[in-house]
Amino acid sequence: QVQLVESGGGLVQPGGSLRLSCAASGSIFAGNVMGWYRQAPGKQRELVADINSGGSTNYADDVKDRFTISRDNAKNTVYLQMNSLKPEDTAVYYCSIRRRYSTLPAYWGQGTQVTVSS
């Protein structure tokens, strides 16, 4: 199994920044993709960004110019730098890991709350 532990969520004003971290441990399989999803109450969980072991990234259109995903393979850690935050970014953010050729994550983190409000 893989364990994912997230940190870095909190309350921030519109226009502010947060940096989320997710540390993976356990039987981490090669050829993986780590990503961040978010879910607001009453809404579907949606992909925000992901990154594979080689550093190739994908972003949702509404965050591409504001968020940056990165990873440190030596530390088995993925990060999400969130800048210019908007109220609509408010959600629980979940770290995930999936196998390269799978569509759905195999494991999820516990989630961390991000609230953007004045």
Q: Are 112 and 93 in contact (CB under 8 A)?
A: yes
Q: What is the pLDDT of residue 43?
A: 95
Q: What percent of the chain has pLDDT over 70?
A: 100
DSSP letter assigned to residue 89: G
Q: What mean pLDDT value characterizes the chain?
A: 97
The two three-digit tokens of residue 49, written as one number = 């960004």
The two three-digit tokens of residue 38, written as one number = 């978010």
Half-sphere exposure of 66 (CA within 13 A, CB side): 16
**Element holding 111 (H helix, E strand):** none
> Can you tell me which residue has the tokens 């970014």?
89
- pLDDT band per the 50, 70, 90 thresholds, residue 35: very high
